[in-house]
Amino acid sequence: MRERDPMKKYVLIASLAAVAACSQAETAPEAEVTEEVAEAAQPLALDGKATPGTYKITRENGDVIMEEVRADGSYTATMPDGSVENGTWEQPSPDVFCSTSDEEGAAQECADEKYGDNGEWLSTGRETGNTSIVERVEG
């Protein structure tokens, strides 16, 4: 029977332990938890800014409507007589603005928007043909 050298055994075990320690998979650092919320791309109004904001809308007859358009897709319009209309809006393109009143049975109304010859922001209702002047007040 052949005698084994005990030192060789210890060297072999130490070598295997060293190789095992070196080859252990590195653990990935834990991902840093952040509360960053990716902002959804906001539609753009005719002026190139995000649509949400406050607008002064002057009708052909001179009546003024103040409209707050919010990022959540809702709006509040204060009419010339002080009454308030709430509803939802969408802007499929910078030159088209659509809104739907919260009133029961209300249909969506859209307006085509463009700059007039004198640089005024004009909004013409598709259903009525009436044109209003739009001015961004805030936003």
| Ordered per-residue pLDDT tens for the chain, 139 residues | 344 444 444 444 545 455 555 555 555 555 444 333 334 578 999 999 999 999 999 999 999 999 999 999 999 999 999 999 999 999 999 999 999 999 999 999 999 999 999 999 999 999 999 999 999 998 7
Tell me which residue range forms the domain holding 114: 53-138
Q: Flag whether 2 is in a domain.
A: no
> Residues 127, 40: contact at Cβ < 8 Å?
no
Q: Flag whether 101 is in a domain.
A: yes
- Alpha-carbon distances, residue 45 vs 9, 24, 97 (angstroms): 79, 57, 8
pTM of the complete model: 0.69
Question: For the chain, how many structural domains are there in total?
Answer: 1
Residue that the structure tokens 């130490």 belong to: 14
- Domain with 115 in it: what CATH number? 2.40.128
What amino acid occupies position 129? G
